[in-house]
A and B are shown apart, each in its own frame.
Chain A
Amino acid sequence: MNLYKKISVAEFTCPPWLSFSAMKLITRILDPNPMTRITIPEILQDEWFRKDYKPPVFEEKDDTNLDDVEAVFKDSEEHHVTEKRKEQPTTMNAFELISMSKGLNLGKLFDAEQGFKRETRFTSKCPANEIIHKIEEAAKPLGFDVHKKNYKMRLENLKAGRKGNLNVATEIFQVAPSLHMVEVRKAKGDTLEFHKFYKNLSSSLDDVVWKTEEDMKEVK
């Protein structure tokens, strides 16, 4: 508790080996008054901060496993898993279906305020090829470059967003010959931007989408 008291009154000492400009910056950051505290743009302007500064390249902390998507697009011999032109998208097996249940997704317990998700799904009664076509048509005007391979797609936003270019991966699974599940997940970039993108996408895909995850939520 003592430590937290010290934090709230900014009671600290700087070691003697710290340079004057570093100490000055740190003092301005550790200001308990948010009104007088230094702002991020001001930090970026600070002389000590700017010395040898290289703007960051954002690495994605991966929760989603993208090896399969990467493999499809890499085209190199080692990653290739005899991909002949597939007639049908991958069929979901029973357990993949089952594991979609809300009762089996405990991550929900940690979602403080309905945080934006990094992936979402919808079902469609349209044939797989039509789904692909429609997604492509919807994504291009939004500024996305589309790469397709079998039933997986990679959408890359040409403009850089808050955390680099937004990359989206989609994959189509077959639940039954006339019913497909489309998974849309963020591969790289800002989750908030992904959320906005998906909203735009789903309004353009109105006639393709049969049931979204929102619809599936309204059970009982």
Chain B
Amino acid sequence: MDSTGKSFFFRGSSLTMGESICAAALIPIVAAVDFLFFAAINCFGYRPRPRPKKCLSGFADMIRLADESRFTVNDIEALYDELFKKLSSSIIDDGLIHKEELQLALFQAPKGSNLFLDRVFDLFDEKKNGVIEFEEFVHALDVFHPYAPVEDKIDFAFRLYDLRQTGFIEREEVKQMVIAILMESELNLSDDLLEEIIDKTFADADADKDGRINKEEWKAFVLHNPNLLKNMTLPHLKCITTLFPSFVFNTGVEDL
């Protein structure tokens, strides 16, 4: 009964006065029932999975994403069809990228944990709901575009390394990260050597010698050592559509 009520409403101008009132009354009732239903669900401690977007709600979304970013509509389409779809279905086929799926793509192994993967995933996941949606994917990748302003890259890198998001990169955080990379590469360094590396880094980066790197110090440090931003640029993003040969034949977008 509620569905017929709704369809009357949307048919627009052909409604009589009586039908409009009926529909107007019905909608809030339906909404109330919906609300009660979900409230009840929460009472039972059931947390519904984030609603998967099995497909982009069409062309309009792609245009919007293209407008908001440095990508063209064709780029967005290629990113979605050729990259996002594969990544998001590699382990759990729900149109969303889960942490294991990102790990699989970057490390070839879905098991185990990695500090840097956690940070990257966290920064991509704007909504902080544990999954990366296509929109979040595009927003984050936009920073890695060769034409993205260097300030954006500097900022992204800073947030990556600011493990506890305090607005500063503390010495303990740097130590934690160096230990993590050494473990990842299975290199062993004595504690002394570790401290020495960090000392030297802080001597270069920590201008006001307060034991932590703030945004300004980071910016100056990076501008002085531009190779630190090397992995903040993915040259492939300039020519996405040419990376995937099958894209040319599958594209739904008319010739631009």
Contact = CB atoms under 8 A, between A and B. Distances in A.
A106 B185 contact: no
A110 interface: yes
Given A98-B161, A176-B189, A219-B112, A103 B106 contact: yes
Q: Most B CB atoms within 10 A — which of A94, A96, A109?
A: A94
Interface in A78-108: 91-108
Interface string B110-132: 01101111111000000000000
A215 B255 CA distance: 46
B234 A107 contact: yes
A110 B236 CA distance: 7
Interface in A1-26: 3-4
B241 to A, nearest CB: 12
A211 to B, nearest CB: 7
Interface in A170-220: 175-177, 179, 211, 215-217, 219-220
A65 B228 CA distance: 12
B106 A108 contact: yes
A216 B178 contact: no
Contacts of B226: 65
Interface string B221-247: 000011110110011100000011000
Contacts, number: 124
Contacts of A177: 193
Contact of A220 (B87, B112, B243): B112
A123 interface: yes
Given A96-B227, A96-B228, A91 B187 contact: no
B106 A211 contact: no
Interface string B190-203: 00010011101100
A179 B196 CA distance: 13
Nearest to B252: A1
**Which applies to chain B's interface (DSSP): helix, strand, loop or mixed?**
helix
A45 B18 CA distance: 82
Contacts of B161: 95, 98
Contact of B119 (A102, A103, A109, A215): A103
A160 interface: no
A42 interface: no
A94 B228 contact: no
Contacts of B185: 100, 123, 211, 216, 219
Interface in B11-42: none
A153 B116 CA distance: 32
Interface residues of B, number: 54
A90 to B, nearest CB: 11
A106 B187 contact: no
A40 interface: no
Contact of B201 (A93, A99, A106, A216): A93
Interface in B80-138: 83, 87, 105-109, 111-112, 114-120
B238 to A, nearest CB: 11
Contacts of B174: 94-95, 98
A97 B183 CA distance: 12
Interface of A: 3-4, 63, 65, 91-110, 112, 123, 175-177, 179, 211, 215-217, 219-220
28 contacts: A65-B226, A91-B197, A93-B200, A94-B174, A95-B201, A95-B205, A96-B225, A97-B178, A98-B178, A98-B181, A100-B181, A101-B181, A102-B107, A103-B119, A103-B184, A104-B116, A106-B106, A106-B144, A106-B231, A106-B234, A107-B236, A108-B105, A109-B87, A110-B236, A112-B244, A179-B189, A211-B185, A220-B109
Interface of B: 83, 87, 105-109, 111-112, 114-120, 141, 144, 160-161, 174, 177-178, 180-187, 189, 193, 196-198, 200-201, 204-205, 225-228, 230-231, 234-236, 243-244, 248-249, 255
